[in-house]
Amino acid sequence: MWLFFDPMFYVFTSPALLLMLWAQVKVKSSFAHGMRVPSNLSGAAAARYILDQTGCHDVGVEETHGQLSDHYDPRAHVLRLSQDVYHTRSAAAVGIAAHEAGHALQHARHYMPLVVRNAAVPAARFGPITFFILVIIGMLMSSDALIHLGLIAFGGVLCFELINLPVEFDASNRAKRILNEYNIVDQEGAVAVGNVLNAAAWTYVAATLQTLLTLLYYIWVLLGSNRD
């Protein structure tokens, strides 16, 4: 029954859901305010300047669709910025662009947590489906071993997200430091950048907490039912 609906799931995960809602509201409000704080450079120009100044000349900067869909693609060596960030001359735009440029710098300098995170991508991608397959088969066959393996597979998602936290925090710290060193933002802009990046960091914390509490729920349901 728990595979379809169980009110206890929301009891377990409600702290993470509330934190995520708060973080998303904070991101939107900080981003909206930061977009009204002017900057001399657009997000694209700031990203290009940072990459060139730090020796990442081979990393491209492209425009992509969506809102706040900004990301760095390590396979293509391309930094992709959403339309608003790419074109707008604002503190929020250069802050987000600098954060993504921070990921490019991590990649270029073989930042170890990023290397480990990239290696853990398959665990995050296939962990949930592997979990459900193993648990369903384990329940049908009354196999505790398969159920335990399923829980371990889901635990791989948590490991990925835990590793991802220092990667994201470091990218944000690099962005703040670089924007200050290169005088891309003034004091007001630095405050706006900090607010945007700090709010975004809470979304990663909330996602990690969500995965942790979900895993604890599954452990409670599956191991509890086995004891019964």
The 10 Å Cβ neighbour count of residue 93 is 31
| DSSP reduced 3-state for 215 | helix
Question: Do residues 90 and 35 lie in contact, with contact meaning Cβ atoms separated by under 8 Å?
Answer: yes
Of 52, 35, 47, 48, whose CA–CA distance to 89 is shortest?
Answer: 35
Instruction: Name the residue type at position 112.
Output: M
Catalytic, out of 62, 63, 100, 181:
100
Alpha-carbon distance of 185 to 104, in angstroms, equals 20
> Phi/psi zone of residue 71: left (φ > 0), alpha (ψ -120 to 50 degrees), beta?
beta
Instruction: Name the residue type at position 154.
Output: F
Spatial neighbors of 201 by CB under 8 A, at least 6 apart, are 168, 169, 172
Angstrom distances, CA of residue 177 to CA of 63, 174, 191: 24, 5, 12
Alpha-carbon distance of 87 to 108, in angstroms, equals 25
User: Catalytic site residue 100?
Assistant: yes
Handedness of CA 182, 186, 189, 193 (dihedral sign): positive
List residues with catalytic annotation: 100
